Amino acid sequence: MYRLTKPKKDLKGVIRLTASKSESNRALIIQALSQTPIQLNNLAEAKDTQTLINILQQDKINFKEGVQYDVGPAGTTMRFLTAYFATKPGTRILTGSERMKQRPIKPLVDVLNQLGAEITYLEKEGFPPLKIKGKILTRNEAEIDGSMSSQFTTALLLISPQLFNGLVLRFKGEVTSPAYIKMTLKMMEHFNVNGIWEGDTITVSNQQYKTDDGQAYTIEADWSAASYWYSMAAMASDVDLRIMGLNNNSLQGDSIIKDLYTLFGVKTEFVEGGIHLTKSKPVVQAFGFDFSDCPDIAQTVAVTAAGLRIPILLNGLHTLKIKETDRISALIAELNKFGIDAHETFPNTIEIKEYRSPSIQPQFFVHTYDDHRMAMCFAPLAMVYDNIIIEHPEVVDKSYPGFWEDLRKLKFVVEKMDLSAKYK
Query: Is 39 within the bounds of a domain?
Result: yes
Of the candidates 296, 370, 371, 406, the residue annotated as catalytic is: 296
pLDDT of residue 411: 96
Q: Are residues 111 and 236 in the same domain?
A: no
Query: Is 90 within the bounds of a domain?
Result: yes
User: Residue 18 half-sphere exposure, CB side, CA atoms within 13 Å?
Assistant: 26
> Residues for the chain: how many in total?
424
How much of the chain exceeds pLDDT 90, in percent? 78
Distance CA 208, CA 30 (A): 10
Dihedral (C-alpha) 299, 301, 304, 309: value to the nearest 10 degrees? -100
Last residue of a domain, one of 163, 195, 210: 163
Q: Which amino acid is at 307?
A: G
Q: Are residues 87 and 159 in the same domain?
A: yes
pLDDT of residue 354: 78
Give yes or no for a contact between 284 and 305, defined as CB atoms under 8 angstroms apart: no
Distance CA 24, CA 51 (A): 12
Give residue-wise pLDDT tens across range 159-188.
999 999 999 999 998 888 888 999 999 999
Give residue-wise pLDDT tens across range 209-261.
998 877 899 999 999 999 999 999 999 999 999 999 999 999 999 999 999 99
Q: Are residues 123 and 235 in the same domain?
A: no
* Numbers of helices and strands, H then E, in the chain: 12, 22
Give residue-wise pLDDT tens across range 316-352.
887 777 677 788 889 989 998 888 888 888 888 899 9
Query: Is 182 within the bounds of a domain?
Result: no
How much of the chain exceeds pLDDT 70, in percent? 97
User: What pairs with residue 134 in β-bridges?
Assistant: 90
pLDDT of residue 91: 97
pLDDT of residue 422: 54
Neighbour count for residue 285 (Cβ, 10 Å): 7
Query: Is 409 within the bounds of a domain?
Result: yes
Give yes or no for a contact between 262 and 242, defined as CB atoms under 8 angstroms apart: no
Residue 424 has pLDDT above 60, yes or no: no
Query: Is 94 within the bounds of a domain?
Result: yes
Last residue of a domain, one of 97, 130, 163: 163
CATH code of 360's domain:
3.65.10.10
Give residue-wise pLDDT tens across range 379-402.
999 999 988 999 999 999 999 999
Q: Are residues 286 and 414 in the same domain?
A: yes
Distance CA 222, CA 220 (A): 6
Give yes or no for a contact between 132 and 119, defined as CB atoms under 8 angstroms apart: yes
Q: Are residues 249 and 387 in the same domain?
A: yes
Distance CA 406, CA 412 (A): 9
Give yes or no for a contact between 273 and 245, defined as CB atoms under 8 angstroms apart: yes
pLDDT of residue 267: 97
Q: Are residues 8 and 84 in the same domain?
A: no
Query: Once rounded to an integer, what is the mean pLDDT over residues 58-69?
Result: 95
The DSSP-derived string for 287-317 is: EEEE-TT-GGGHHHHHHHHHHHT--EEEE--
Of 331, 334, 336, the residue nearest 348 (C-alpha):
331
Q: Are residues 69 and 89 in the same domain?
A: yes
Query: Once rounded to an integer, what is the mean pLDDT over residues 50-57?
Result: 97
State yes or no: is 371 an active-site residue: no
Could you tell me the pLDDT band of residue 423, with boundaries at 50, 70 and 90? very low
Q: Are residues 11 and 26 in the same domain?
A: no
Q: Are residues 6 and 56 in the same domain?
A: no
Give residue-wise pLDDT tens across range 82-135.
999 999 999 999 999 999 999 999 999 999 999 999 999 999 999 999 999 999
Q: Are residues 249 and 392 in the same domain?
A: yes
The SS3 call for residue 355 is: strand
Query: Once rounded to an integer, what is the mean pLDDT over residues 14-29?
Result: 96
**Domain range holding 118?**
21-139+151-163
According to DSSP, the β-strands at 287-290 and 312-315 are: parallel
Give residue-wise pLDDT tens across range 252-289.
999 999 999 999 999 999 999 999 999 998 888 899 99
Q: Are residues 300 and 377 in the same domain?
A: yes
pLDDT of residue 327: 86
Number of domains forming the structure of the chain:
2
The SS3 call for residue 368 is: coil
Which phi and psi angles does 315 have, rounded to 5°?
-130, -175
Query: Is 144 within the bounds of a domain?
Result: no
Q: Are residues 321 and 416 in the same domain?
A: yes
Indicate the average pLDDT of the chain. Answer: 92
Query: Once rounded to an integer, what is the mean pLDDT over residues 293-308?
Result: 92
pLDDT of residue 361: 67
pLDDT of residue 230: 98
Query: Is 212 within the bounds of a domain?
Result: no
Query: Is 245 within the bounds of a domain?
Result: yes
